[in-house]
Amino acid sequence: MRDYIIGMGKFVYQKVKDQKGTLKNRLVNGYSPGGDAQFNIDAAAEDAVFEYIQKQEVPIAFYTEDGGLKLFGENPQYILIVDPIDGTRPAAAGLEMSCISIALAAYKPNAQIKDIEFAFLLELKTGAYMYGDIYSDCIHYEGFQGELPNLSEVKEIKNMFWS
């Protein structure tokens, strides 16, 4: 699944990057079920996720902020949790704090954060990304100048700092 989610992230990035002027358009097109304002760039990214899934022809469940839960194919083995524009406002401002976020877990009706097996983050400003999974001690990354920032060894969620 590593190649699948890295491929998806790069595909969405390219589609978003090709949307000249869409990112800076601040017209609110509605609100997600979670209450977040949705912009043109969010719709373009959501469409790119769906396009990628269709092209791969792999049975999979996927959840996006705008689209909710959808099943593609029969008997999906995995569920993708995708925020194709995680941080729309920082992205519009040209900050690094926006990314394409993808997590993947074995599909089951009550999947939770603790079930995530694969994770991927790609910076919208630079295209640099990092990927990790529970099967390997190393993090795969590309596009960063030098080594990745010092990653914390903290494993208890209650002791983590979230941004």
Identify whether 158 is part of a domain. no
Q: Is the entire prediction scored with pTM above 0.85?
A: no
Identify whether 113 is part of a domain. yes
Residues 14-52 as b or e (16 or more Cβ within 10 Å = b):
ebbeeeeebbeeeeeeeebeeebebbbbbbbbbebbbeb
Identify whether 161 is part of a domain. no
Amino acid identity of residue 26, one-letter, is: R
CA distance linking residue 139 with residue 148, whole number of Å: 9
Range of the domain at 62: 2-143
What single string gives the DSSP state of each residue in 20-31?
Answer: TTTTT-----EE
- Number of structural domains the chain divides into: 1
pLDDT tens-digit series, residues 69-122: 899 999 999 999 988 888 777 776 667 678 899 999 999 888 888 899 999 999
pLDDT tens-digit series, residues 107-159: 988 888 889 999 999 998 889 999 999 998 878 889 988 877 666 778 787 78
